[in-house]
Structure 1
Amino acid sequence: MAQIGQILVDVPTMQTNDPYSYAIPAELEHQVQVGMRVVVPFGRGHRLVSGVVVGLSDVTNFDGQLKPIETVLDLAPVLNSELRQLADWLATTTYAFRITCIQTMLPNLLKTQPKRQVQPTETLTPAEMATYFPEGAPRDFDTSKLDATTLAGLLKLQRAGKVEVVYDVKNKAAAKTTTGVTPALTPAKLREIAATVSKRAPKQALLLTYLAQMTGDSAQAQTVVAKRAGVTPAVIATAADKGWLKKSTLEVYRDPFHQPVKPSQPLELNAEQRTAVTAITQAIDAQHAQNFLVEGVTGSGKTEVYLQSIAQALQQGRTALMLVPEIALTPQMVNRVKARFGQRVAVLHSGLSKGEQYDEWRRIDRGEATVVVGARSAVFAPVENLGIIIMDEEHESSYKQDENPRYHARDVALWRGKYHHCPVVLGSATPSLETRARAAKGLYTRLVLSKRAKAQPMPTVHVVDMREQLKQQGDSDFSEPLMTAIKERLKRHEQVVLMLNRRGYSSFVMCRDCGFVLKCPNCDISLTLHMDSHSMKCHYCGHEEPIPHVCPNCHSRKIRYYGTGTQKVQQALEKLLPTAKILRMDVDSTRRKGAHERILRQFGQHRADILLGTQMIAKGLDFPNVTLVGVLNADTALGLPDFRASERTFQLLTQVSGRAGRATKPGEVFIQTFNPDHYAIQLAQHQDYERFFVTEMHIRHQGNYPPYYFAVQLTASHEEEAVAAKAMYQIVAALKQGLSPAAIILGPTPKAIARVKRKYYYQVVVKYKQEPQLRPVLEQIRQAAQIPARHGLSVTIDSEPMNFM
């Protein structure tokens, strides 16, 4: 009986979670494996599409003639059993299609069609070498040009570990391969030839002597041989022609760690840290899927708790996965983990080149890296035998993906913890209300670190009422107390961190005669002035246009800049403090690869006095010489129409305050605000998380918001507002018909920013406690949305949204 493959196909216009049956050609039988990517003919036009093998069988329900698989894209599966199960769970919980979830898990390089080569390993026999590599070099793995017999043979060799596929990518950070050199003769024969070489060719003699000293059969890079032997590539080429050496292709590992890291030793723990490590390591030893919340004030030594817990997992021969919320935090955390665990560490985040990401992914897949550190998508790293999963700064909203599949990394981490029977550690100074509420219910074990690790005092926090400052000194970004404190730190050669949660030069441009505000033509939002590029930019769609000097509406020249941004603050600081060295860290200044790391390294080496940035500088950074933190406008998030506005403000202020006074020098914080009496600002001043938790939970309870209720947000968008609105009303009708009266349906309403990228957005929010019919109703809505999607109507479902804006 012929073998049949169950294939999930990738057809964007009509997705399905049901696999299609395809015949496996005789020559590929028992070579195709579950988890491989394949190319199959699809539809009446027999167009070729990619897919993933999710099952193999000998029978099918299909009574017609099965189409055969066209070819395979991989010689080995790219998804293991765990990740296939995870994709199924993810599809169910995020209302996404299985194929979308699978693609989310793969590194970028496997989602494209880069050039691929098959190269032999050292175990290949001479006969196999002659058959499959007649030219003696790696061959292109282009399945459209390989005959079925050769492809089947290569599949068998791959399963035996005799060949491997390497991926090449354009614009990569470094060459993927390099030329290798191996001696072709015995050391005695090479020395014999060296003695007879003409005196007019001293370089050849040097090379022969070096080749005679090379040990074993392993190749060395040609560049290394040339340098050590003191010869040029031309001399090596001549030696190859004379049969003294053999050239081969060597793979070059693209190392994302561009700076050497000094090894570190475990630190002495205080009593609270010891209690935390003991509890976590007991769960590791017992292989128990226990979930922990490490609630530690800023500077309480959470990282050391993580590192010593990881060490315990590694000691047992298991692996570790550690998540950090964004690229800005990755360099410092990666360096600490790398300093402790060396070459066993792999790093995964979007700041790496595609080639670096792929190399790291493959090191993990092969089991060469046993500790993985990375941002959100690293939660899908193909790590086997996990002993611990750690999620630092677990409250961060960047752990939630805002496009399909709309997963939260915390949920994926908890799923993987159960799968591997290992503890999951969620760490934060300001846990999300959902996590803290679960700890209060006993679903998570709460471990509290109430003091700073080295017993330093918490920084003194001052709240500056900007309403009073406005009366005294007019419109300024800096209050008098903050500016005095900055000057004092500069005199003492200490460092300052200033946070303003708005990039650009100015919030908007307005005509003082007619009140006209320059808006984005594609979005319902004003354009932001950027002085470095002398342009107006939209922070939603990227639209850019020149700065107007005349009002487009009334042609007045009284056009002025309002609001403030990081660029404008930097210019003001440079005027006020001409001797101070200032570094700016925001999305604009960190676009280039490695920019985060470079800025933080410069600041860490005290090559700047002031680090000015957006919220990316608020978390996780540890600089011993920072004794002053200034928050220029604490109200940025408070005014947003979002139920999490107060929580985000409290978290941000507490986190950024924690950057001050982390070593021996005492720290001080100034929070500038127009709302000094707001409970989020008052409680952040006293770093009182527990009181904030109780206050905010009371407000959430009154408003029927998470964590007391679950929530789902449905959004419809289209270039015509009427089409989006009509779709949303139809969706609301379906929800009301399918759900119980206990479900709270809010909407439909236009979104807070009603138009983005030329599309109008309407939304509805469903709040519920138990709705058994919710999933089938939402599945029905998702399936029905596929046909209108071809005509530009997009419907999205977001389970547990991070905001309702």
Structure 2
Amino acid sequence: MLTAEVLINLPSPRFNQAFSYSVPEHLSAQIEFGQRVLVEFNRRLLEAYVIDINEHISGEVKPLLEILDDEPVFDARLYQLALWMADYYLSSVPQVLNTIIPGSMDKKGPVEVMARFTAEDLPEVIHREPQVEELLQELIAQGGLKLPDALKLAGYEELMALAQQGLIGMVQKYTAYRPGKDGYVYELAELKEGLEEQMQKRAPRQAQAVKYLRENGPTDQVTLEGIIPAASLKTLLKKDYIKLVRKKPEITPGTLNLTPEQNHALQEISIAGQQGSFQEILLYGVTGSGKTEIYLQAAEEMIARGRKVLVLVPEIALTSHLVDIFAARIARLAVIHSAILSSERYQQFKAIKKGEIDLVLGTRSAVFAPLSGMGLIIIDEEQENSYKNEETPRYHAREVARQRGIMEGALLVLGTATPAIETFYQAVSGQMGMLVLENRPGQAQLPEIIIDDRRGEPRKDSRFSLSPLLRGKLTEKIASGEQSIILINRRGYSPVTICRQCGTIFSCPSCSVALNYHQDRRKELCHYCGFEKEISRCCGKCGSKYVQQFGYGTQKVEEEIKNLFPRAQVARLDMDVSQKRGQRQDILDRMKNKSIDILIGTQMVAKGFDFPHVSLVGIIDIDNMLSIPDYRAAERCFQLIVQAAGRAGRALLPGEVVIQTFNGDHEVIKYAARQDYFNFYKHEISSRRILEYPPFKEIMRIVISSSREDQADRETGILKELIEEIIDATETDLDILGPAPAPYYKIKDRYRYQLLLKADDFWLLNSIGRQILARRNEFNARLELDINPVSII
């Protein structure tokens, strides 16, 4: 008899331990590593992951009850990755496996009723429950029943009573999605001579399908199924007279000539990729320097060697932008991101697993694609915060990709115009290679950047979100038929509503943040918990009607521009718009087709897009980023300005950038205006060294939250005492900042306090975190631990 070692799918670290279950004979031929199964644990029916199968059994163990998957949902390599992630990110292995397994594999089938007793026990059970004898006999005879069939033999209350006694269980197996029809074609197989004539006599509809394919070639699945009955096509497929295959994309051979800089970078990447061992390279190139073409040619070369490629991008919008570019050059391509239908993601997962895909392109979760034989991993815009998962396990895709590269012996290329400070520090200190692209290809030049300081501006102009200079530039661009992008990194209409009488700021009742007015919905919204209310006409505190909205977001800027330029084609791209299915892609297509004159948006318009007719970028209200209480605030501000500026002048048209600011002499603004990353880095790394932040220290942020303010405060003090006990016992050097209220003090009706721990050694913080989690039941508040967080607010 076989024994399966399983991990119970519960989040506690205690379930990192495997439990043994015997495999019943009728399941022994189906059981595989990486499947989900149903087991009884502490008198509960729970799901578990199979992580080992042994031939021999020692002692008595419970049998597993059911196999829930037709095939494994993870392989041995992804399981090893899960073990590393659980250790590194202070998580449990089941939590990591839940993250690794794509959501498209979680579709449940119909409810089934199964017996939790054996055939030997049947007489005794019937004696106890004679009123449902027929049901009990059928459960043993059939090995289980669909719920509707079980309800024909017993009432619902009777089933519930049997379940409470532990005599039956309800289970839902995982099931596959039906294959989507988009992207598939029917094509004709080789037929014996004379077969078509025979079919015309015996099966005329089948003969019609064969004739259609012979005359028209491969035909879209939807088209042919609209002409020929499904039964006829099914018969032809069964007889192997026709095939249903993925549509082969039209591939355009790469014809772009590389500049000497690009060619040198590609050669170095090629040499590193041939080593067959893990290496890491930072590809640091100014915006528009042709990094994408290097990615493509490096990928083509790696695929020609028989190895797979993974490309990660930070935004869904950027994924769709790059799909067209990559799909034109690489035939066996799969795309993974959350906006794709679950059925399509399921088909992509199956194709990747079967080895039918050479290159996977996707957002953060694509780092878990079941590619085997990876030779190259590319992370575009490696500095982006969206690569960090903000829920347990709090992984960073860059770190996970690095670990996959180590496991696979693959080359990791990090591409960006504005590297993360930690990444650039590793590069200049020799911990990874670095390749530099200082120029744009051809005649394209970096844009001219103007700092438009609005201090001292006439009052008549200050009421506009656009300065006179930017309004004038937009007028020129519209007249010349060129495109413009306006960046305002705040969605909604107005971020703050204030009572002019008593000074009250209208805030969310569940969060310590101001309500943001959205004019399209005529409501005030909280961007943290989703609370919404009708627009305020008077102050809830003093009753005054002197209520005014201050500040501006994308909606207000859009309204102002449409009023200023009524004949211009204006569009907005932010989270509110992009949530509408197909809207984001439509806007991007219209930008490519030059159907939009001015595009207004949040930071999603600043990353990676290549619109050759954009010659002006306006950056509005960037100063607010510099006042965020986070040690990465200056870095993020610099990166956003430079990335946004990089959208201008990417082809033959010269580019201009206007940075509107009230801090024109701020060092970060001046470095960004010169696009001087190296001197910004020297300025920033000096501050990090003095303040002892990464890369000079490892940090762990602990957030303690409770629905009661006094409890959150008290529990934070107790936690600090526990940490000090751990430090005293190990005699280690550790700095503790706090306890203190978190910058966002209240979110979703929970009061938040935080501690910040600094140490030289990552594994010291990891060890302290594990000791805290081992005793988390001693606390009456929620604990969130994050090592090297991307934000401390």
Identify if the C-alpha distance between structure 1 residues 503 and 768 changes in structure 2 by more than 3 Å, giving closer, same or farther: same
> Equivalents in 1 of 2:364, 2:212: separation in Å?
48
Q: Does 1:758 align with 2:755?
A: no
Which letter maps to 1:53? Answer: V
Other structure's SS at 2:757 match: strand
Single out whichever of 282-291 and 533-542 deviates more from structure 2.
282-291
Cα contact 2:443–2:652 (8 A) shared by 1? no
Identify if the C-alpha distance between structure 1 residues 209 and 778 changes in structure 2 by more than 3 Å, giving closer, same or farther: closer
> Equivalents in 2 of 1:479, 1:451: separation in Å?
31
Cα contact 1:5–1:24 (8 A) shared by 2? yes
> Equivalents in 2 of 1:19, 1:631: separation in Å?
54
Match of 1:775 among 748, 752, 766: 766
> Equivalents in 2 of 1:22, 1:51: separation in Å?
11
Which residues of structure 1 form unaligned runs of 5+?
A: 118-143, 151-164, 197-203
Residue 456 (structure 1) shift: 2.0
Match of 2:625 among 628, 637, 642: 637
Which structure 2 residues correspond to residues 95-174 of structure 1 after superposition, within 5 A? 95-114=90-109, 167-168=176-177
Deviation string, structure 1 residues 236-257 (Cα, Å, up to 9, x no partner): 77x899x999899x999999x9
Which structure 2 residues correspond to residues 382-461 of structure 1 after superposition, within 5 A? 382-461=370-449
Which letter maps to 2:313? Answer: V
> Equivalents in 1 of 2:650, 2:233: separation in Å?
60
Which structure 2 residues correspond to residues 403-552 of structure 1 after superposition, within 5 A? 403-469=391-457, 471=459, 473-552=461-540
Q: Does 1:54 align with 2:54?
A: no
Which structure 2 residues correspond to residues 250-649 of structure 1 after superposition, within 5 A? 263=252, 265-342=254-331, 344-469=332-457, 471=459, 473-649=461-637
Identify if the C-alpha distance between structure 1 residues 20 and 745 changes in structure 2 by more than 3 Å, giving closer, same or farther: same
Which letter maps to 2:749? Answer: R
Identify if the C-alpha distance between structure 1 residues 666 and 20 changes in structure 2 by more than 3 Å, giving closer, same or farther: same
Deviation string, structure 1 residues 409-429 (Cα, Å, up to 9, x no partner): 111111111111121000110
> Equivalents in 2 of 1:624, 1:176: separation in Å?
31
Other structure's SS at 2:344 match: helix
Question: Which residue of structure 2 aligns with residue 17 of structure 1?
Answer: 16
Match of 1:669 among 644, 647, 657: 657
Identify if the C-alpha distance between structure 1 residues 228 and 479 changes in structure 2 by more than 3 Å, giving closer, same or farther: same
Residue 666 (structure 1) shift: 0.4
Identify if the C-alpha distance between structure 1 residues 594 and 254 changes in structure 2 by more than 3 Å, giving closer, same or farther: farther
Which letter maps to 1:322? Answer: V
Identify if the C-alpha distance between structure 1 residues 482 and 7 changes in structure 2 by more than 3 Å, giving closer, same or farther: same
> Equivalents in 2 of 1:402, 1:34: separation in Å?
30
Residue 210 (structure 1) shift: 4.4
Identify if the C-alpha distance between structure 1 residues 80 and 266 changes in structure 2 by more than 3 Å, giving closer, same or farther: farther
Which letter maps to 2:325? Answer: R
Which letter maps to 2:70? Answer: L
Other structure's SS at 2:456 match: helix
> Equivalents in 1 of 2:20, 2:199: separation in Å?
64
Cα contact 2:309–2:377 (8 A) shared by 1? yes
Residue 177 (structure 1) shift: 13
Cα contact 2:703–2:754 (8 A) shared by 1? yes
> Equivalents in 1 of 2:522, 2:430: separation in Å?
55
Deviation string, structure 1 residues 360-385 (Cα, Å, up to 9, x no partner): 11111111111000001101110110
Cα contact 1:177–1:251 (8 A) shared by 2? no
Which structure 2 residues correspond to residues 716-731 of structure 1 after superposition, within 5 A? 716-731=704-719
Question: Which residue of structure 1 aligns with residue 679 of structure 2?
Answer: 691
Residue 288 (structure 1) shift: 2.6
> Equivalents in 2 of 1:262, 1:477: separation in Å?
46
Identify if the C-alpha distance between structure 1 residues 689 and 69 changes in structure 2 by more than 3 Å, giving closer, same or farther: same
Cα contact 1:499–1:612 (8 A) shared by 2? yes
Match of 2:62 among 63, 67, 71: 67
Which letter maps to 1:49? Answer: L
Question: Which residue of structure 2 aligns with residue 81 of structure 1?
Answer: 76
> Equivalents in 2 of 1:505, 1:357: separation in Å?
35
Other structure's SS at 1:663 match: coil
Residue 12 (structure 1) shift: 4.5
Identify if the C-alpha distance between structure 1 residues 31 and 545 changes in structure 2 by more than 3 Å, giving closer, same or farther: same
Which letter maps to 1:679? Answer: E
Which letter maps to 2:177? Answer: D
> Equivalents in 2 of 1:335, 1:753: separation in Å?
40
Residue 113 (structure 1) shift: 2.0
Other structure's SS at 1:82 match: helix
Q: TM-score, normalised by structure 2?
A: 0.86
> Equivalents in 2 of 1:510, 1:468: separation in Å?
24
> Equivalents in 2 of 1:572, 1:533: separation in Å?
18
> Equivalents in 1 of 2:272, 2:20: separation in Å?
43
Q: Does 1:4 align with 2:13?
A: no
Residue 41 (structure 1) shift: 1.0
Cα contact 2:449–2:659 (8 A) shared by 1? yes
Deviation string, structure 1 residues 320-342 (Cα, Å, up to 9, x no partner): 00000111211111211111113
Other structure's SS at 2:758 match: strand
Which letter maps to 1:667? Answer: G
Cα contact 1:714–1:795 (8 A) shared by 2? yes
Residue 206 (structure 1) shift: 7.1
Single out whichever of 12-21 and 696-705 deviates more from structure 2.
12-21
Which letter maps to 1:8? Answer: L
Residue 179 (structure 1) shift: 13
Number of positions where the alignment pairs a residue of Structure 1 with one of Structure 2: 733
Identify if the C-alpha distance between structure 1 residues 325 and 115 changes in structure 2 by more than 3 Å, giving closer, same or farther: farther
Which letter maps to 2:91? Answer: A
Cα contact 2:13–2:93 (8 A) shared by 1? no
> Equivalents in 1 of 2:195, 2:261: separation in Å?
67
RMSD after superposition: 3.4
Identify if the C-alpha distance between structure 1 residues 60 and 559 changes in structure 2 by more than 3 Å, giving closer, same or farther: farther
Which residues of structure 2 form unaligned runs of 5+?
A: 113-138, 146-173
Cα contact 2:187–2:213 (8 A) shared by 1? no
Question: Which residue of structure 2 aligns with residue 27 of structure 1?
Answer: 26
Other structure's SS at 2:756 match: strand
Q: TM-score, normalised by structure 1?
A: 0.85
> Equivalents in 2 of 1:363, 1:145: separation in Å?
38
Cα contact 2:109–2:175 (8 A) shared by 1? no
Deviation string, structure 1 residues 668-717 (Cα, Å, up to 9, x no partner): 00000111111111000000000000000001111111111111111122
Question: Which residue of structure 2 aligns with residue 655 of structure 1?
Answer: 643
> Equivalents in 1 of 2:614, 2:428: separation in Å?
35
Other structure's SS at 1:589 match: helix
Cα contact 2:199–2:206 (8 A) shared by 1? no
Residue 282 (structure 1) shift: 0.8
Deviation string, structure 1 residues 518-570 (Cα, Å, up to 9, x no partner): 21121111110001111111100111111111222222222111111100111
Deviation string, structure 1 residues 64-98 (Cα, Å, up to 9, x no partner): x4211111112322211110000000001100110
Deviation string, structure 1 residues 275-326 (Cα, Å, up to 9, x no partner): 1111111111121311000000001101111111111110100000000011
Deviation string, structure 1 residues 137-158 (Cα, Å, up to 9, x no partner): xxxxxxx9996699xxxxxxxx
Question: Which residue of structure 2 aligns with residue 121 of structure 1?
Answer: none
Other structure's SS at 1:340 match: coil
Identify if the C-alpha distance between structure 1 residues 262 and 423 changes in structure 2 by more than 3 Å, giving closer, same or farther: closer
> Equivalents in 2 of 1:722, 1:192: separation in Å?
86
Other structure's SS at 1:435 match: helix
Residue 182 (structure 1) shift: 11
Which letter maps to 1:84? Answer: Y
Identify if the C-alpha distance between structure 1 residues 23 and 621 changes in structure 2 by more than 3 Å, giving closer, same or farther: same
Question: Which residue of structure 1 aligns with residue 699 of structure 2?
Answer: 711
Residue 632 (structure 1) shift: 1.0
